[in-house]
Structure 1
C-alpha cells in the first residue's frame, strides 16, 4: 500500500482517546515543574511531561500545557517561566503542582531565578525562559521559550512518568 492511500485511511479512522493515552503511556517522559510569578508576585506552577529542547541557536525550549489549565494563563501573563527538572525523589513537588489549588507551593521550597521566577530548590536543573511563541495544537498549546539562564544543580536521577507511575532512571552497567 502506498503512503498516499495509507494517509487517506488514517484520516477517516476515529482514534479512541483512552487507547491513544494508554499506548502513548508506554513512552517514558521526564517530569518538569513549570513555574512563574503571578501579577502579585506569588509563585504559580504546573507539572508537565511534555518539556523538550527546541533549538540550540537560538536556545529555545518548549512545553505543551492543556487548554483547560487554570495555571497556564497565569504563566502566560508573566511572559516568563522557569522549567525545573525534578529529581526522582521529588514526587511530592509534582503532586503539589498537579492539584487544583491556589496554594500549590505549600511544602515546596523555592528561591527566585535571575528574572524572578520560582526556582524549586533541590531540582536536578533549572532553565529560566522568556515566552516567545504560543501555538494552537488541538486541546493543548505549544509554548516556546527563549532560554536566558540555566544551571545543573545536581547530577542525580530525574523523575520519570511511565505507564501511569512515577520512577527514576537506573543506568545500565557498561558492556565489556
Structure 2
C-alpha cells in the first residue's frame, strides 16, 4: 500500500459531518460541492472554515465569490452528498432551492445552514482554505450525516456531552 493511501486511511479514521457548500458563479450559475472539511472557527465574531481541492472544477468560482453557504446534511441526505460530489455539471437540476445573501442557492431541509461572507483565503497545500464570517444561520433538530472510513453513517449518541 502506498503512503498516500495509508495517509487517506488514517485521515478517514476521523469521523466528520458531511456538508454541501454552494455559491453563485460569475456567470450566474449555481455551483455546489460536497465537503467534509468544514469546521467552526469562532463564536465572536461567528466564523467558519472549509477547504476545496485545487483540482476542483469549481475552484475559480469559489475563490472569486464573496459569499457562499454551508449546508450540514441530515442522515437521510446521502443522495445530496453523492449528487454534489459527482461530475454532473448541473448539480441543481430538479432541486428546489431558496435564495440567500448575494443570491447564493440554499438547499432545503438540512440540519444546519450557514450563509457566509469570505474574509480570508489561505494556501493549504493541494487545497485552498476559506475562512468566512457567518451572516445568517439556521438549525433544525435532525441527526447529521456522518462520513467515516470511506462510508456514510449516522450518529449514535453515547451520553451527555454537557452541552
How far is 1:68 from its partner? 0.5
Verify the 8 A CA contact 2:23 2:105 in the aligned structure 1. yes
SS of the equivalent of 2:52 reads coil
1:49 to 36, 56, 61: 36
**Structure 2 CA distance for aligned equivalents of residues 46 and 128 of structure 1:** 15
Instruction: Give the aligned CA root-mean-square deviation in angstroms.
Output: 1.5
Verify the 8 A CA contact 1:76 1:131 in the aligned structure 2. no
**Structure 1 CA distance for aligned equivalents of residues 123 and 101 of structure 2:** 29
**Residue 152 (structure 2) aligns with:** 166
Q: State TM-score, norm by structure 1.
A: 0.85
How far is 1:173 from its partner? 5.9
Structure 2, gaps ≥5 residues long? none
**Structure 2 CA distance for aligned equivalents of residues 20 and 58 of structure 1:** 34
SS of the equivalent of 1:65 reads strand
How far is 1:51 from its partner? 0.1
How far is 1:124 from its partner? 0.9
Structure 1, gaps ≥5 residues long? 1-14
**Structure 2 CA distance for aligned equivalents of residues 65 and 125 of structure 1:** 20
Q: Which has the larger share of strand?
A: 2
Verify the 8 A CA contact 1:157 1:170 in the aligned structure 2. no
Higher-Rg structure is 1
Q: State TM-score, norm by structure 2.
A: 0.91
